[in-house]
Amino acid sequence: MAKRLYVGGLSFNTTDEALGAAFAQAGSVVSAVVIKDKFSGRSKGFGFVEMSTDEEAQAAIQMWNEKELDGRTVKVNEARPMEDRPPRRDNFSNRGGSSNRGGFGGGNRSRF
3-state secondary structure of 6: strand
Band of the pLDDT at 87, cuts 50, 70, 90? confident
**Residue 97 pLDDT greater than 60, yes or no:** no
Please give the pLDDT value at position 96: 55
Burial classification of residue 64, based on how many CB atoms lie within 10 Å of its CB (0-12 exposed, 13-18 middle, 19 or more buried): buried
Instruction: Please give the domain boundaries of the chain with CATH numbers for all domains.
Output: 3-78 (3.30.70.330)
**Residue 32 pLDDT greater than 70, yes or no:** yes
pTM of structure: 0.73
Beta bridge partners of 8: 46, 75
Band of the pLDDT at 82, cuts 50, 70, 90? confident
State residue 43 phi and psi, 5-degree precision.
-60, 145
Stated as kind and residue range, the H or E segment containing 56 is helix 54-64
